[in-house]
């Protein structure tokens, strides 16, 4: 990447496909951004750029690159593919650019030293923990193309609920339909995979709405 292109990218600011990190210390936290990009639509991680868009660069980009590559290899499961390059901003400073494509093997997880794992997704300019429903949508969406389901009483209650409200949550649907939360969760996941519903992830609670494609059909 040319320096000119890097500057243009930085001007846009952080967003769904772009994240800035001034340094590579705490690489175990940076891998969250990498996982979030892989689990979402892909993106670029610029190390050596501040949140205020200042391009300070790294004094020893080679060491930072090694540290991050090692952390990505150690803390991410399953493994992801990514591209790395260094962009010189002065004779002794570089910005490290990691390009993470959207993965077909999602969900990917950050696995800590205790073995606990957590998936992350990208929502606007944040990397947030993926809900149970989002992890299921990612997992089941890998191989399923045409998803069919039985339209029954609970689905009818869901459609009536969506006629009254713009969006529903798993808990609201479970309460109104009088069904266990797990059943409500699975129903919403299947209907997202069938493209009848859309999911809107949020760091607090996910919401589900009727899909635009289904409404126009």
CA 21 to CA 54: how far, in whole Å?
11
Separation CA 188–CA 197 (nearest Å): 8
Q: How far is CA 40 from the centre of its chain?
A: 4
Q: Distance between alpha carbon 36 and the CA centroid of its chain, in Å?
A: 3
- CA pair distance 131, 114, nearest whole angstrom: 21
Q: For the chain, where do the domains classified as CATH 3.30.950.30 start and end? A: 3-129
pLDDT of residue 213: 65
pLDDT value at position 144?
Answer: 57
Tokens 């299921």 — which residue?
136
What is the widest separation between alpha-carbon atoms in the chain?
68
- Looking at residue 66, its pLDDT comes to 94
Coil, strand, or helix at residue 12?
helix
Could you tell me which of 62, 18, 67, 64 has the C-alpha nearest to residue 43?
Answer: 18
Q: In b/e form, how buried is each residue of 78-113, taking b as 16+ CB within 10 angstroms? A: eebebebebbebeeebbbbbbbbeebeebbbbbbee
* Average pLDDT, consecutive stretches of 10 residues, N- to C-terminus, the chain (217 residues): 94 96 89 96 96 95 94 95 95 96 95 92 95 94 69 91 94 96 95 93 94 64
Supply the pLDDT for residue 145.
62
pLDDT computed for residue 146 by the predictor: 63
CA 17-74-41 angle, to 5 degrees, is: 20
Q: What does DSSP assign to residue 122?
A: E
Give the architecture-level CATH label for domain 3-129. 2-Layer Sandwich (3.30)
* pLDDT at residue 25, rounded to an integer: 86
| Domain boundaries for CATH 1.10.10.10 within the chain | 132-216
Sign of CA dihedral 121, 204, 182, 167: negative
CATH topology of domain 132-216: Arc Repressor Mutant, subunit A (1.10.10)
> Which residues 6+ apart lie within 8 Å of 158 measured at CB?
168, 173, 177, 187, 188, 191
């Amino acid at each position: 990447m040319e320096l000119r292109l890097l500057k243009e990218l930085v001007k846009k600011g952080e967003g769904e496909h772009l994240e800035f990190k001034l340094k590579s210390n705490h690489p175990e936290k940076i891998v969250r951004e990498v996982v979030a990009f892989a689990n979402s639509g892909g993106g670029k991680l610029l190390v050596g750029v501040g949140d205020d868009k200042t391009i300070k660069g790294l004094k020893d980009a080679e060491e930072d690159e090694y540290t991050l590559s090692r952390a990505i290899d150690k803390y991410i499961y399953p493994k992801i593919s990514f591209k790395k390059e260094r962009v010189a901003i002065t004779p002794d400073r570089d910005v490290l650019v990691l390009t993470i494509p959207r993965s077909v093997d999602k969900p990917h997880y950050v696995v800590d030293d205790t073995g606990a794992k957590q998936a992350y997704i990208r929502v606007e300019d944040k990397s947030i923990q993926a809900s149970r429903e989002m992890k299921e949508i990612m997992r089941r969406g890998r191989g399923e193309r045409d998803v069919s389901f039985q339209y029954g009483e609970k689905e009818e209650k869901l459609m009536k609920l969506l006629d009254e409200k713009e969006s529903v949550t798993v808990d609201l649907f479970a309460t109104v339909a009088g069904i266990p939360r797990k059943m409500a969760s699975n129903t919403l996941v299947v209907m997202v995979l069938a493209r009848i519903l859309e999911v809107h992830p949020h760091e607090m609670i996910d919401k589900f709405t009727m899909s635009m494609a289904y409404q126009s059909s």
